[in-house]
Chain A
Amino acid sequence: MSEELGILELIIGASGTVQVVMLILLLASVSSWYLIVQRVMLYRRMTEELGGFEAHFWSGVDLAQIYREGNEALADGATPIGVESIFRAGFKEFSRLSQQSDIEADAVLEGARRAMRVATLRESDRLESNLPFLASVGSTSPYIGLFGTVWGIMHSFRGLANATQATLATVAPGISEALIATAMGLFAAIPAVLAYNRFAARSDSLINHYDTFVDEFSGILQRQTYAQRARRNAG
């Protein structure tokens, strides 16, 4: 028996259960990393979008103009995301309701707010989707790895019971191979936990921004509604 034990030999030589555990952990690690990279890209894009749209929104452009630009982008095949989709939902509802003169001003505003709330919820769903998976990987994969390790150590000690001469060399490879499972569990768990915390914080802050935007935008709509009503009453 050679003492030149590479990780690969240890993994290949591991017992079936431990190998299954390792496979599960590898899949968990791969999928959590996939999600991490994807989420990072998504949050970056959302933040850029938020900054860009807010700058555009507060630059004094006519709201209908922004809405029309959004229509053009929609025609090109792009789907509105983030704060723009909230704006579009609110503005669409507002203009539809305010065209009907028999609806109260408060009801128009209430309708627009509801539409924006729905859009905000949809956006926060999008931001928070898959985060539970990261949380699960982060919290369970150390246990899965530990299970593999305990199993592997049990296995190698059972082998020791049958051996007449108990040396360290009899159990050492088994324990070493079993510990790989724990290492893999931690390898999967640590990035997942870090990413989960980071992403949760980021999506919270984005959703806060959206809520703020909804309030500010309702303020603008309210002003507009009452100005419209006053004009209509006067005229």
Chain B
Amino acid sequence: MSTLSDRVTWFGMPVALTLAIHLVVAGLLMVRWANPVTIEARTSTPVAIKATLVSADTLKAQPKPKPKPKPKPKPKPKPKPKPTTEPLPVAVTPQQKVEPEVPLEVAKPERTPEQLSQETLSDIESALASEQLTQKGSTGTVSDQVAAVIKQAVIGRWTRPPSARNNMVAVLEIALVPTGDVVGVTVLESSGNVAFDSSAVNAVEKVARFSEVKSLERAVFERDFRRFQLIFRPEDLRY
């Protein structure tokens, strides 16, 4: 045994093995942290349409001194509260707990007939959309279903800031615990508009708890909903 090969065995091997062990451990640690599920909240913005209509109308038609802040909370309720859409609530996902809000009811009668009809139209559209959504959800996986519900819940509580525009996209990251409580909301990618970003964050924070998540299997929850991204993209704003 020559001294050179001796040195290689007694020095090189341990060094190589040591490095290998540390690199593998480091690699595992790096890899395991990532890939949250993404939920895109874009299709279901009919609510936002209504928000636009109400605020725009009330601005002109109603003698209220403060039309802006008032209508804003209104759009929150889902299509449900509309008087014209009696059968619709059935179609809408039952999770929407924001039942009819009184101010909205009050505001409505004062509208012109054509506005009303227009509203009815958009209501029907939205109802259709949410129906399709629920149908799609029920045929898809449990995860898709819950994702749709989460999407609806967030959009249902979204308050559109005046500066929101159609092409704005904010990517949020939401962290949940198994009970469905939201433990963290952060803006992953800003839309460039701080008001819009914070309105999206507020919407999630207002929901506070996605109770449907609780019924999920533990593994599914860990995989898809422990941390996920929500792409917030209102496309149907008519402004």
Contacts and interface: CB of A to CB of B under 8 A. Distances in A.
Nearest to B36: A4
Given A2-B186, A3-B184, A33 B18 contact: yes
A38 interface: yes
Contacts of A77: 1-3
B13 A4 contact: no
B225 to A, nearest CB: 14
Interface in B1-41: 1-3, 9-10, 13-15, 17-19, 21-22, 25, 29-30, 33-34, 36
Contacts of B175: 3
A29 B22 contact: yes
Given A30-B22, A77-B3, A7 B29 contact: yes
A6 interface: yes
Given A3-B186, A4-B188, A7-B33, A41 B22 contact: no
A168 B184 CA distance: 9
A3 B187 CA distance: 9
A152 B183 CA distance: 23
B173 A37 contact: no
A34 B14 contact: yes
Interface in A23-82: 26, 29-30, 33-38, 41-42, 77-78
B33 to A, nearest CB: 5
Contact of B14 (A4, A26, A37, A78): A37
Nearest to A167: B184
Interface string B41-71: 0000000000000000000000000000000
Contacts of B173: 2-4
B188 A2 contact: yes
Nearest to A40: B14
A33 B30 contact: no
A64 B10 CA distance: 31
A33 B25 contact: no
Interface of B: 1-3, 9-10, 13-15, 17-19, 21-22, 25, 29-30, 33-34, 36, 173, 175, 183-184, 186, 188, 227
23 contacts: A1-B186, A2-B173, A3-B227, A4-B188, A6-B33, A6-B34, A7-B33, A8-B30, A30-B18, A30-B22, A33-B18, A33-B22, A34-B14, A34-B18, A35-B14, A36-B14, A37-B17, A38-B13, A41-B13, A42-B10, A77-B1, A168-B184, A187-B25
